[in-house]
Amino acid sequence: MSQPNIIYILTDDMGYGDLSCYTAQQYQTKHIDRLADEGRLYTDAHSTSAVCTPSRYSILTGRYCWRGPVKKGVLHGHDPSILEPNRETVASYLKSYGYRTACIGKWHLGLGWAKDQHAPHGVDYTLPIQDGPIDHGFDYFYGISASLDMPPYCFIENDRTVGIPSVPKDPVDFSQEGRDGFMVPGWKDEDVNSTLTEKALDFIKQHDTEKEDPFFLYLSLTGPHTPWLPKTEFHDQSGVGPRGDLILEIDDTVGQILSLLEEKNMRENTMVIFTSDNGPDPCREEMTSYGHMSTAQWRGQKADIWEGGHRVPFIVSWPVRVPEGTVSHSLLSLSDLMATCAAIVDGTLPQDAGEDSMSQLSEMTGQTSAEPLRESIILHSFEGMLSLRKGDWKYIRGAGGGGFDLRDRSRIGIPHTDDRVVKPDDPQEQLYQLVNDEEERVNKIHDAPEKLLALSQELDELIAAGRTRP
């Protein structure tokens, strides 16, 4: 059998409870549900970080981002690249095995903008961009530099902006306030998802299955991250507000991709993975007015070290290999894409690549194993707090959730609960046994001191080792 095409659909800030194939009840994500029916749904999948830049670094490199210079926070649209010049990525690795590679959507790993100290933001948009996706293994790139609430507001094709950002952009909502920047004339935030969908479909349409090697498409959608601006035809369709409507627009994107794959007779031997870069940043009314819990039963939300910050939906479908309608409760990290792709092409990763990536291919294809493929995972909060998950136990080094500044979040109307406010007498370590305490409410540091010590020591050892992959 020939090597499969691989499509990785990454959403931005989608929660474990945002899909009806998980726990959402107020609306139906029918196309993503179909993907789950035709493949394998994971209940214990995690982004390596609770925010996007470090999570995306791990997705493309198979390495924890905190091993490099970014210990906390995220990049902005004009920041330089954090990808090391010779660092192997999923794209560069698959390209070496003959894959045609494309990145369409949000990048958020920094770019080498041409500098001009006299220009706004110190950038000359007329000159080529260095150190972008096409310098890290992708044959083609069409997307935006960072999140949709960060300037510059323009598309980038390969190493050039599509038009020149020259018009000051008025903030559409709270997420763009205080982020003064320029947009290209005629820019509309609500058109971004449909434009990216169109570009992804074009890339697939242009592929000749009989003459060309397989392709890897990294489709990095911008929703349901703020601003919550779905296309007009999706307005008021979810029943939970604009963020839910944006999720339904994303669901439609998935449906269009699946239909095109079927039309081109490519569906059977195409691996489609659907997931999110981190947990959700929900709209208050979703919970208070409509009862929609985007984090499901998990504590916390985007940016937090608690489960709501990084436990994400994860679905894989590959009709010729992945058993349909199955569920996996195995531990999975989004960093595992690197080693999984190496296993798909029957390759071997170099020692200095994918240091924290474990192949999930056997688990995805339903092969049983006496030992788990992944014994543990290290997790990372917005403020740089680390946690070690191993089996049913979760050790957190720090107090509270390690997420966003709650005073600032309250100012802009984002919901939070009082238990996310760190008090002076809060213990500086946390230990939870998730099998009995999914909501991470019972801190067992005094009940299980031996387990606390063992996990703390193991975290230190894994940090010092520089890798977790054998």
Catalytic residues, by residue number, are 52, 108
Burial 132-159 (b: 16+ CB within 10 A, else e): bbbbbbbbbbbbbbbbbbbbbbbbbeeb
Alpha carbon distances (Å) from 206 to 7, 254, 360: 15, 18, 30
Helix (H, G, I), strand (E, B) or coil at 400: coil
In which element (H, E) is residue 338 found? helix 337-344
Report the relative pairing of strands 314-317 and 40-42 from DSSP bridges.
antiparallel
Name the one residue in this structure whose structure tokens are 């010092």: 464
Measured CA to CA, the distance from residue 44 to residue 22 in angstroms comes to 12
Question: Is the N-terminal amide bond of 152 cis, ω within 30° of 0?
Answer: yes
CA angle 350, 389, 17 (to 5 degrees): 105
Measured CA to CA, the distance from residue 402 to residue 391 in angstroms comes to 22
Q: Which of 110, 111, 185, 191 is nearest to 148 (CA)?
A: 191
Q: What tokens appear for 465 in the block? A: 């080792």
Measured CA to CA, the distance from residue 458 to residue 461 in angstroms comes to 5
Q: Are 397 and 387 in contact (CB under 8 A)?
A: yes
What amino acid is encoded at 92 in this protein?
S
Helix (H, G, I), strand (E, B) or coil at 434: coil
Write out the E strands in 293-374.
Answer: 314-317, 326-328, 332-333
Report the relative pairing of strands 429-433 and 40-42 from DSSP bridges.
unpaired
Q: What tokens appear for 261 in the block? A: 């794959």
Measured CA to CA, the distance from residue 95 to residue 167 in angstroms comes to 38
Q: Are 221 and 105 in contact (CB under 8 A)?
A: yes
Helix (H, G, I), strand (E, B) or coil at 342: helix
Measured CA to CA, the distance from residue 309 to residue 134 in angstroms comes to 30
Q: Which of 99, 153, 101, 160 is nearest to 129 (CA)?
A: 160
Q: What tokens appear for 14 in the block? A: 């989608």
Q: What tokens appear for 313 in the block? A: 């939906």
Alpha carbon distances (Å) from 11 to 289, 304, 325: 25, 18, 22
- Which letter does DSSP use for residue 59 in this model? H
